[in-house]
Amino acid sequence: MSSLITTRSATEKMSSLDIAELTKKKHNKVMRDIKSLVDQSAIGESSFGLTSYTDKSNRKQSMYLLDFEATMTLVTGYDAKRRSQVISRWVELEKKEQDPMKALNDPAAMRGILLTYTEKVLALEEEVKEAAPKVAGFDRIATADGLTCITDTAKTLQIRPKDLFLWLSENKWIYRRQGGKGWIGYQNRIQQGVLHHKVTMVSTSDGREKVTEQVLITPKGLTRLAGYLAVEVAHDDA
């Protein structure tokens, strides 16, 4: 098992890596399942987080941290045996937390706990140091008032515009009406506050009025895209 402690009372989170090991699913598949539920708003933003761990090859890999409710939402879509494995782990961890003297009287458990927290503190200090400039930048983005078109968003994220259009289309952020040329934002994305649909009335050269539509990315959408794309890049590099 991974070295991450996944008790509800201590951290109230379970990692996607732990879930993958318990359910015998590939970690990237579990990550995909979680991302799909987040996209559908089945898992709220306050119920999960994105962090990293060091694999056996000493490489940093991305993983999600889920609270109890989000974990149960995820495993509801799994078969009964996999659900049972995850639920049993939560119950087991809760029982241990209810009897702290059992852990205190177990030298091996105490060594494991101390080692885990030491590693986590050191890793967290390093992550904070590395991420500080990026986090500050994303904080400014998330609180900004401006909207950006998809092309400008791609430049901000340092990817090709056509790649971002393709990603947004494949992940059901935008679509084209049958026979239409312009992109339209899915209504649920607009309701989530990650997209804004701009409709403008313009006058043509022959005096007629024409309606133009444009999909814009909100600051919240830009921040979320940065997180999603970072996960996919980490998977590609694995």
Q: Give the N- to C-terminal CA distance of the chain in Å, as an integer.
A: 19
State phi, psi for 197 to the nearest 5 degrees: -100, 115
Sequence-distant (6+) residues with CB within 8 A of 96 are 7, 102, 103
Q: By CB neighbour count within 10 A (0-12 exposed, 13-18 middle, 19+ buried), where does 195 fall?
A: buried
Query: What CA–CA distance (Å, rounded) separates 5 from 22?
Result: 14
Q: What is the pLDDT of residue 173?
A: 93
pLDDT in tens, 26-37: 998 988 988 888
Sign of CA dihedral 18, 22, 25, 31: negative
Q: What is the pLDDT of residue 174?
A: 92
Residue whose tokens read 């799994």: 78
Instruction: Enumerate residue ranges in the chain where pLDDT < 70.
Output: 1-12, 91-146, 202, 204, 230-238
Nearest partner of 82 among 130, 29, 12, 126, judged by Cα: 29
pTM for the structure as a whole: 0.40
Q: At what angle do helices 68-75 and 27-39 cross, to 10 degrees?
A: 100
3-state secondary structure of 12: coil
Q: What is the pLDDT of residue 162?
A: 92
